[in-house]
């Protein structure tokens, strides 16, 4: 985070960037007396740190959600968007961009993340009720319902973009994912929600470990599989919804980071969940820093850079390890 805060049109030393960050912390900030200028502090605090913090939150949230979905479905192709949350969020954001839904009482900067979050959460519940059979949620029905709903909302997004007019550039930037309009207001709203969901998910690490053996074996070992699945699906979809609402749709992180960390640290969710959160946050901060500097003054969407940098690294790890343990 300190290194990312040094990069930009105004070069700032790592020591000053780190000192400015510590200076913002109550109590600790009183013991830091740096030699940075007011302009440097303003650039770091008001322009760069909101973007860096947003990348940390989103990277950690998507990685945690990816770990959970891959564990529940026991499917290496599962990612945070498997239930159509991304398409629902994209549809909500596109509505706000194209037709100004919610602009009258929220304003442009607030209506896009608000509508994206609403769309994502409503999509989650729609998929849940479609897939539900009595009191059970069969995994196959859940996956198929997610694919169907995701396809429907993707087509609706395409229809909205075709009629977007001047808003087409904003819509495309949001759909590709990134942090060009990151604000402290977004961070302040998303941080408590993502932290609460993350802690709640981590509380289920034992159940996730047992469920890797299969649902039948998990039931025999005393795990209430259906109850655990429902809670984890709601928590993981919610954390994805909050992440997507402030960043747009950033692919790759939630799919590949859990695989990377499973290769490195093993399948134990007690270690896998926090290590994936740290790796996802670090990787997304790195990718976002590259995105805003590599083609300056043009900044490509961060989602494009995540795939360009991450996919070759993952292929290297996969070839080196030879297998992925489950």
Domain segments of the chain: what residues?
2-321
Residues 34-61, mean pLDDT to the nearest whole number: 88
The 10s digit of each residue's pLDDT in 122-167 is 999 999 899 888 778 888 888 899 999 999 999 998 888 887 776 6
Residues 34-40, mean pLDDT to the nearest whole number: 80
Give the pLDDT of residue 23: 80
Q: Which of 18-27, 42-51, 187-196, 227-236 has the lowest mean pLDDT?
A: 18-27
Give the pLDDT of residue 101: 62
CB of 291 closer than 8 Å to CB of 305: yes
Question: Chain-wide mean pLDDT for the chain?
Answer: 85
Give the pLDDT of residue 151: 93
Residues 292-321, mean pLDDT to the nearest whole number: 78
Residues 248-258, mean pLDDT to the nearest whole number: 88
| pTM (2 d.p.) | 0.88
Does the domain at 2-321 match CATH 1.10.3470.10? Answer given as yes
The 10s digit of each residue's pLDDT in 83-110 is 899 899 989 888 888 876 655 555 555 7
Give the pLDDT of residue 133: 82
Give the pLDDT of residue 62: 95
């Amino acid at each position: 985070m300190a290194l990312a805060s040094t990069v930009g049109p105004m070069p700032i030393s790592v020591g000053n960037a780190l000192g400015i960050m510590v200076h913002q912390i109550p109590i600790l900030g009183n013991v830091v007396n740096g030699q940075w200028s007011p302009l440097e502090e303003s650039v770091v605090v008001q322009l760069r740190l909101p973007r860096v913090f947003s990348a940390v939150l989103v990277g950690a949230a998507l990685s945690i959600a990816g770990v959970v979905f891959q564990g529940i479905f026991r499917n290496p192709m599962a990612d945070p968007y498997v239930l159509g949350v991304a398409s629902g969020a994209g549809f909500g954001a596109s509505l706000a961009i194209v037709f100004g839904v919610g602009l009258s009482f929220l304003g442009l900067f607030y209506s896009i993340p608000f509508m994206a979050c609403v769309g994502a959460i409503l999509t989650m519940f729609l998929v849940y009720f479609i897939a539900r059979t009595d009191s059970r949620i069969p995994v196959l029905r859940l996956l198929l319902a997610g694919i169907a709903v995701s396809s429907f909302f993707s087509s609706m997004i395409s229809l909205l973009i075709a009629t977007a007019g001047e808003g087409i550039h904003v819509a495309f930037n949001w759909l590709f994912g990134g942090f060009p309009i990151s604000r402290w207001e977004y961070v302040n709203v998303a941080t408590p929600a993502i932290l609460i969901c993350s802690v709640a998910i981590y509380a289920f690490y034992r159940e996730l470990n047992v469920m890797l053996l299969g649902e039948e074996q998990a039931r025999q070992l005393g795990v209430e599989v259906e109850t655990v699945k429902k809670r984890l699906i709601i928590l993981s979809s919610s954390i994805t919804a909050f992440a997507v609402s402030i960043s747009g749709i950033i692919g790759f992180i939630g799919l590949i980071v859990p695989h990377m960390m499973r290769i490195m640290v093993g399948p134990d969710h007690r270690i896998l969940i926090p290590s994936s959160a740290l790796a996802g946050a670090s990787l997304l901060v790195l990718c976002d820093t590259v995105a805003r500097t590599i083609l300056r003054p043009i900044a490509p969407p961060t989602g494009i850079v995540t795939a360009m940098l991450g996919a070759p690294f993952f292929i290297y790890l996969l070839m080196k390890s030879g297998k992925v343990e489950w």
